[in-house]
Amino acid sequence: MKKARLDAVVVTRPADMFYLTGYGGDDGAVLIGAGWTCLAATPLYGEHAHRDCWDVEVRAGRLSPGIAAALKGRGVRRLGAQDEHLTVRAWHELEAMIGSRKLMPADGLVGQCRLVKDDREVRMISRAVRAAEQAFDVLFRRGKGAFVGRTEHQVAAELDYQMALAGADGSAFPTVVAAGKGASQPHYRPTSRKIRCGEPVLIDWGACVAGYHSDLTRVVFTDTIPAEIGRIYEVVAAAQAAGLKAVRPGVKAKSVDRAARDVIAEAGYGNEFIHGVGHGVGLEIHEPPVVAGRSEQRLAGNMVITVEPGIYLPGVGGVRIEDDVVVTARGRRRLSSLPVDIRKMVLR
């Protein structure tokens, strides 16, 4: 704030508000100045705010008057706001409300703090990984019957349910279950089509625990392994291993992407790996650091990222393998422990 010459910042991104105060509302605002913090909570979250955010000043009520009251008498002339989160309309409303004070774009300040997790945060992400893995195990151990003849939606919904039974507060994002050709779309949405015996099934899922997310991807085989999918599986597995190995403190995030991408490009599938190799994960499912070709961000201890290379062949199918890792003092520790070996991914 000092560097940007701001007297205060108004924080509105839900994950940032939660990080700073424990406030779990979707709307509201946290105001931070030199030596003071104030939470303006909307009426629907008022009771929650008074209970959970006992260590900050809470003003519950309509948002605009709450923000105006919080600023009053604090000597704020330059106020930062989150221009990557606020809509144009909301920005103008805020501007109209703060009178002669100047509203400045100031996104990323809280995001910078959130980049490096503390040990409790890493534990929460680990718990979210464990809940996701336990749910996967339940379905996998049931074998083909848990997949073949059921719709993609149903498999996704059962995975979500099993995560809740395993202690998750919910799913980290809408679970992806993509059978056969569907897996060629990285952001596939499950359909009401029944999974057929013989189709590989790509599953991209994660759990949420105490606000923290996990994010995993595996491909399981309902029968024999189709030759072409088997080939790209081995390439992706090797690329993921290379990417994981490249994770250590001090390196730029782009070098992790490069390590995985080189393996895929060498195998001739460079154009079929159409996204960055990973992203930070924590209070949001996608958060800094970006782990892609242009990311100059240096990794540091206690950052948590995904490593998830993939190969996508339209009309054929796709493979992506994803794990979550925490950067340690000397290297990395994989938070997930599901096997990658293709022979272990065939359902009985």
Q: Which residues in this chain contact a copy of itself in the complex, by CB under 8 A?
A: 24-26, 43-45, 47-48, 83-89, 91, 105, 107, 153-154, 156-158, 160-161, 163-165, 167-170, 174, 184-190, 192, 274-275, 314
Least separation, in Å, of the C-beta of 301 and a copy of itself? 30
Task: Please say which residue, 191 or 328, places its beta carbon nearer to a copy of itself.
Answer: 191
Q: Which is nearer to a copy of itself, 77 or 189 (CB)?
A: 189
| Residue whose CB is less far from a copy of itself, 60 or 303 | 60
What does the alpha-carbon distance between residue 11 and residue 107 come to, in Å, rounded to a whole number? 9
What gap in Å lies between CA 337 and CA 213, rounded to an integer?
16
- Reading the block at residue 87, the tokens are 């809509």
Instruction: Please name the residues in contact with 297: beta carbons below 8 A apart, sequence gap of 6 or more.
Output: 252, 253, 288, 289, 290
Q: How far apart are CA 168 and CA 166, in angstroms?
A: 6
Distance CA 89, CA 81 (A): 13
Between CA 171 and CA 220 the distance in angstroms is 20
Would you tell me the crossing angle of helices 63-71 and 88-97 to the nearest 10 degrees? 50
**DSSP conformation class of 198:** T
Peptide bond into 289 cis (omega under 30): yes
Find residue 243's DSSP bridge partners.
none
CB of 72 to a copy of itself, least distance (A): 25
Nearer to a copy of itself, 58 or 86 (CB): 86
Query: In terms of CB distance, is 211 or 280 closer to a copy of itself?
Result: 211
CB of 69 or CB of 165, closer to a copy of itself: 165
* CB 237 to a copy of itself: min, Å: 22
Question: How many Å apart are CA 207 and CA 184, to the nearest integer?
Answer: 24
Output 139 or 342, the one with its CB closest to a copy of itself.
139
Toward a copy of itself, which CB reaches closer, 44 or 113? 44
**Residue 160 CB, nearest distance to a copy of itself (Å)?**
6
CB of 83 to a copy of itself, least distance (A): 4
Do the beta carbons of residue 8 and residue 38 sit within 8 Å?
A: no
Give 166 or 299: the residue with its C-beta nearer to a copy of itself.
Answer: 166
CA trace torsion 246, 248, 250, 254 (10° rounding): 40
Phi, psi angle pair for 78, to nearest 5°: -110, 115
Query: Which of 240, 242, 248, 243 lies closest to 302 in space, CA to CA?
Result: 248
Give min distance, CB of 88 to a copy of itself, in A: 4
What is the nearest approach in angstroms of a copy of itself to the Cβ of residue 238? Answer: 23
Q: How far is the CB of 3 from a copy of itself (least distance, A)?
A: 20
263 Cβ contact partners less than 8 Å away, ≥ 6 residues apart? 235, 238, 239, 242, 309
What is the separation, in whole angstroms, between the first and last Cα of the chain? 57
Name the minimum Å distance from CB 289 to a copy of itself.
Answer: 18
